[in-house]
Amino acid sequence: MECYSGFAYIYDRLMQDVDYDRWVDYIQEVFNRFNVKPKLVLELACGTGNICTRMAQRGYEMIGLDLSADMLNVALSKTDKLGLDILYLMQDMTEFELYGTVDAVLCLMDSLNYLLSEEELLKTFKLVSNYLNPGGLFLFDLNSRYKLKKILGNNTFAVEEDEIFYVWDNNYDEKTEICEFYLTFFVREGEKYRRIDEIHRERAYKISTVKNLLKQAGLAFLGCYEPFTFDKAQKNSERLFIIAKQCVDKAVTM
């Protein structure tokens, strides 16, 4: 998994076109549709806190967890400016620890694609199951196999955005189903440009595999949907929204 070092400080500038309020609206629609009223919510791979802050502003108690210290530094700065109380933890989502259980877990922006093996994905699902209260929901999204293979894979993109120019060169491996992203950013700072190089890797997963791993972790699969809807995902869907539920009454294993 990548730690978003220099990239963390330009992340929000690159993601200005993302409608985070729409994401949070959908999260609340999911809660309403499945008749849950969570108070304490955990977001895995919370990044710079764009979802956490908006959820907190709507009255949820939030825990944000991320592996990158730089991303969390940005999140903390943002949270302080907004006067919010959010607990941020620097941990790997494949081996995180909490002091107690939560009512819902989120993992968004294709963060789970960064887990490159079924073993890592299962470890994360088991931890979610361990810390999720009975009846609690687990909502996450994935870049689909179709997107990684047909749209992103083996393509090169050049993008210019608000004094940032970057080249995004991708390579998809049919055998491993891993797509490697080679990103080079040129960020304008006064009259000069600073170069940032990043390598990211995402693994494509079959829905059948995800369902099986959720079952092994003790989570009930509720559905796989088109983005921001409750319409069943299709073969050419680019992003998949998946909802699972903790149905087992159990004690937390600390």
Tell me, yes or no, whether 251 lies in a domain: no
The domain tally of the chain equals 2
Task: Indicate if the alpha-carbon torsion angle 15, 16, 18, 23 is positive or negative.
Answer: positive
Residue 223 and residue 112 in one domain:
yes
Residue 157 and residue 235 in one domain:
no
Q: What average pLDDT score do residues 5-14 get?
A: 62
Confidence of residue 184 (pLDDT cuts 50, 70, 90): confident
With b for 16 or more beta-carbon neighbours within 10 A and e for fewer, the 162-174 pattern comes to eebebebebebee
pTM greater than the 0.75 cutoff: yes
- Tens-place pLDDT, residues 30-64: 999 999 999 999 999 999 999 999 999 999 999 99
Per-residue tokens: 84: 């919010």
Rama region for 66: left / alpha / beta (φ>0; ψ in -120 to 50; rest): beta
With b for 16 or more beta-carbon neighbours within 10 A and e for fewer, the 44-56 pattern comes to bbbbbbbbbbbbb
- What is the span of the domain harbouring residue 127? 6-143+204-246
Q: Which residue has the higher pLDDT, 1 or 213?
A: 213
CATH number for the domain that contains residue 17: 3.40.50.150
Residue 55 and residue 123 in one domain:
yes
